[in-house]
Structure 1
């Protein structure tokens, strides 16, 4: 028996050592590839494929290869990092924390921040929204989560970081969290609980706010790491198709759409550009992986970054499919108030972005 235990322990040590070695090799390799990616893709496109740099096809293919590899690298790294956050601060713990602690308004920040670090689109955020309501979390705090979750997540942050740099990414992520905080606070003060659906009211009445008892998590980080990396890779796999489609659309626009096509309608000198972009975006539906590459091309074609971000926020945060799903938990009047509030804030953010970016 003792011999068997020693053999198992040795096997576990070898497994851990192999995992650490893989991380030590793979992580620097990805960072090195990211650093030299532009030159490698230029060589691949214009030397091996022998495409002309000034041709529409050459520009489109170069854009597609470069952005696809770059975004997938960033997406995997940031998704894995967020996996560490989620592993040590799971949703159930957040629900208990928000329902048992006096936070003096910080609950809106925590809910909004949690929405930013969870990888959900507007539609997939709704089941968790229901869970928040069921757990007794105030409606305004729940709205903070629902507003921020589709707007800011690791997918959007990774893609924004690769396309627009650190400054624009921080402003985008910070403003998305701030939008969730302010929007949730305002909606909470309006006392809109009566406009929840009868089904949700029944859930609230039947639910009990028991204090959850959490045992100290003693699982070593090295033992959690395989699952965290697997989850990060799983997120990449889930959004891979959206990334490819979005970047393909962006590549086609980058290579073939005339320079003045977008600036004619959404240029900075037109006062209505931001609200027009938001209104046009609502009938559309895409997640961040599909829309960010298109936004990059908008900016490259001369559309102000603030207008482009407002368009993106409206696409991912104000969609007709989301409104349809929300009908299960809200009455139409509350859906209208929710959409109207978020629309106004997105438009205001668009104007502010154009002033400071």
Structure 2
């Protein structure tokens, strides 16, 4: 019991950052003179707290992930994956995606490199699905908003979707549906550079700066939308469209997310607000997955790399997987809460 109390305290203070929420509440009351029970005050507290929390966690986690990633440059990764085949290779590629803090668009250049080096489509698409959908940072951020069960379950089903999706695409034998220039993109054997500890730290800091520059606007927009949903849109309106009793809620959430472009860091505040309004867990996760894995800009970029038939197969496999996962999470919600 004592150990659980310590774990709960650490979880609340380090990941959920209860202290930061209290601090922002005092800031809103004492500096801005707003009532936390009012819509404006509550919205401002939500916005300040979630923004600062996400940037803190994002910076720390991306630094740690990038430091680990520095030991696995693309050339070394290609060699490692090249030693495996079948589901094992797809699983390793999906796991690799969890340590690449990229959005869907940023993952495509690595997908081109892996495909051009001769790796099977099952492997490269497992990576392409996993990379924007699941990363180690998402585990911490999901746990900070929901709980650890949901965070780990999200990662497991995300990896499962990546492996199964990649395997299905590989079994379809659509290698001729990849644009010819991709296969001429192999770089041969490039000598691997041995990095010093200082080099790895510099690389990690650069990755933090690069990721923050790419996502800061989406985070602010996402937190702003979350604050509006949380405090300004009546619960009755949201539940009328996406309530847990609506059989079509997962379908709506999945297809509404596709035209949007954001990564998981910008999507989480919206997910948090929707869950607080009574939207089903599976519906929320389906929305998150569709935004991160099937955003319209990433599909447009992928269209330049693969032909329509392969693009259609990729889209169909992923969207059906997301919808199935959404319904399963809604059904098993009591287990996770």
* Distance of aligned partners of 1:299 and 1:129 in 2 relative to their CA distance in 1, 3 Å threshold: same
**Per-residue CA shift, 1:63-86, capped at 9, x if unaligned?**
011111111111111111101211
* 1:214 CA displacement: 4.5
**Residues 108-123 of structure 1: pairs in structure 2 closer than 5 A:** 108-123=90-105
Q: Name the structure 1 match of 2:116.
A: 134
Displacement of 1:198 in angstroms is 3.2
- Cα distance in structure 2, aligned partners of 1:314 and 1:57: 30
Aligned-CA RMSD value: 2.3
Q: Is the 8 A contact 1:34 1:73 kept in 2?
A: no
1:1-357 equivalence runs, <5 A: 34=17, 36-99=19-82, 101-103=83-85, 105-154=87-136, 156-201=138-183, 203=184, 207=186, 214=192, 217=194, 219=196, 221=197, 224-357=200-333
**1:8 aligned residue:** none
| Rounded Cα–Cα distance in structure 1 between residues aligned with 2:228 and 2:163 | 37
Q: What is the CA-CA distance between 1:244 and the residue it aligns to?
A: 1.4
Could you say if the C-alpha distance between residues 271 and 95 of structure 1 is closer, same or farther in structure 2, counting changes exceeding 3 Å? same
Q: Secondary structure of the equivalent of 1:315?
A: helix
Unaligned runs of 5+ in 2: 1-12
User: Does the C-alpha gap of structure 1 residues 58 and 172 become closer, same or farther in structure 2, counting only changes over 3 Å?
Assistant: same
| 3-state DSSP of counterpart to 2:305 | coil
Cα distance between partner residues in 1 of 2:140 and 2:164: 25
Native 8 Å contact 2:261 2:295 kept in 1: yes
Query: How far is the alpha carbon of 1:222 from its aligned partner?
Result: 5.5
Q: Deviation of residue 226 (structure 1)?
A: 4.2
Which secondary structure state, in structure 2, belongs to the residue aligned with residue 123 of structure 1?
A: helix
| Paired position in structure 1 for 2:8 | none
Q: How many residues align?
A: 321
User: In the aligned structure 2, how far is the partner of 1:123 from the partner of 1:155?
Assistant: 18
Give 1:33 deviation, angstroms.
Answer: 11
Secondary structure at 2:70's aligned position in 1? helix
Moved more, 103-112 or 181-190: 103-112
What TM-score do you get using the length of structure 2 for normalisation? 0.88
C-alpha distance in structure 2 between counterparts of 1:125 and 1:311, whole Å:
20
Whole-Å Cα distance in 1 between the matches of residues 296 and 15 of structure 2? 42
CA contact (8 A) 1:75 1:154 kept: no
TM-score (structure 1 length as normaliser):
0.83
Q: How far 1:209 sits from its partner (Å)?
A: 6.2
For the structure 1 residues 237 and 123, does the alpha-carbon distance in structure 2 shift closer, same or farther, using more than 3 Å as the test?
closer
1:201-242: CA deviation from partner (whole Å, max 9, x where unpaired): 5x27xx4865x6657x472x3663344234324423432222
Q: Return the index of the structure with the highest Cα Rg.
A: 1
Tell whether the 8 Å contact from 2:15 to 2:141 is kept in structure 1 after alignment.
no
Q: CA deviation at 1:280?
A: 2.3
Q: Deviations over 1:282-308 (max 9, x none)?
A: 222222222221111111111011111
Please state whether the residue corresponding to 2:98 is helix, strand or coil. Answer: helix
Distance 1:155 1:296 in 2: 16
Q: 2:271 and 2:207 mapped to 1: Cα distance?
A: 27
